[in-house]
């Protein structure tokens, strides 16, 4: 690749990363407005600092968001990420199906690798999927494995939900989740248009690939180079990473 072409790619990535930052700020404004509106209607949003039950969920993000996170990590966070990804690689092959993969996060991986004493250690660069998740129930419900509830407990939970506001059958505000999904789609489409492919998937896996495997170099080549890096790192599971090409 000629130097001029590489510089053009660098400029495109500057634009992509700037739009990611702008999109995350927009998501914060949307979330704040949605919280205020819901509370004005006598609803309650229970998310607060130190409330980390949702951090046991499987978190996905776009490639550009993962770049921002990777650049922000300190050495201690990078080491914690290595340990987390090592556990993830050992277990993901046994997941069996999507439900098993999601349960893996709940039961075996020990929560997000970027948690720091119950608080988010990457809060300023956290992905849109985290920013969009607003809970209308107390935090323990964000960590519940519903397969372990009795029929009566499940029914009571469903009957307690504000169906006009939540993404039923979950207890998270629907409006922010829908807005977050649209923003993610816009960011993925921008990358697709700019470099010919886009990548989306497990936030810890993507961040690890950027931090430890120089995935950004592959993003400036093609989708095959990117997939080869993921395979070399043992992170090419379809549960972890998805690639879309033109």
For residue 5, name the pLDDT band (cuts at 50, 70, 90). very low
For position 13, what pLDDT does the model report?
A: 84
**Average pLDDT value for residue range 114-128:** 95
On whether the CB atoms of residues 85 and 211 are closer than 8 A, the answer is no
For position 115, what pLDDT does the model report?
A: 94
Convert the pLDDT of each residue in 176-195 to its tens digit. Answer: 999 999 999 999 999 888 88
Q: How far is the C-alpha of 239 from the C-alpha of 168, rounded, in Å? A: 24
What is the helix (H) or strand (E) element at residue 62, kind and residue range?
strand 60-62
Convert the pLDDT of each residue in 9-55 to its tens digit. Answer: 578 888 899 999 999 999 999 999 999 999 999 999 999 988 999 99
| Among the listed residues 150, 58, 153, 59, the one whose alpha carbon sits nearest the alpha carbon of residue 106 | 58
CA distances from 3 to 84, 86, 215, 219, 221 (A): 37, 36, 19, 16, 13
Tokens 């495109």 belong to which residue? Answer: 12
For position 107, what pLDDT does the model report?
A: 87
Confirm whether pTM is higher than 0.85.
yes
3 state SS of 198: strand
Parse the chain into domains and list their residue ranges.
Answer: 14-196
Q: Which of 9-18, 75-84, 142-151 is the most confident on average?
A: 75-84
Q: How far is the C-alpha of 93 from the C-alpha of 5, rounded, in Å? A: 39
Handedness of CA 51, 55, 59, 62 (dihedral sign): positive
């Amino acid at each position: 690749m000629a130097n001029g072409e590489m510089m053009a790619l660098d400029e495109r990535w500057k634009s992509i990363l700037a739009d990611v930052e702008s999109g995350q700020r927009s998501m914060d404004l949307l979330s704040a407005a949605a919280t205020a509106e819901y509370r004005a209607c006598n609803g309650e949003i229970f998310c607060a600092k130190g409330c980390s039950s949702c951090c046991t969920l499987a978190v996905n993000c776009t490639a550009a968001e993962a770049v921002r996170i990777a650049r922000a990590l300190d050495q201690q966070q990078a080491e914690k990420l290595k340990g987390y990804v090592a556990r993830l690689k050992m277990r993901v092959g046994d997941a069996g199906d999507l439900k098993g993969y999601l349960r893996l996060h709940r039961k075996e991986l020990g929560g997000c690798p970027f948690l720091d004493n119950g608080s988010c250690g990457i809060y300023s660069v956290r992905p849109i999927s985290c920013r969009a998740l607003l809970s209308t129930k107390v935090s323990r419900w964000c960590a519940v494995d519903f397969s372990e509830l009795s029929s009566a407990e499940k029914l009571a939970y469903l009957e307690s939900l504000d169906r006009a506001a939540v993404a039923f059958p979950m207890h998270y505000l629907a409006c922010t989740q829908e807005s977050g999904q649209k923003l993610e789609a816009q960011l993925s489409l921008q990358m697709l248009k700019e470099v010919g492919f886009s990548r989306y998937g497990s936030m810890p896996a993507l961040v690890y690939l950027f931090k430890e495997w120089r995935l950004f170099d592959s993003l400036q080549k093609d989708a095959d180079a990117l997939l080869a890096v993921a395979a070399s790192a043992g992170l090419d599971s379809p549960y972890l990473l998805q690639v879309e090409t033109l």
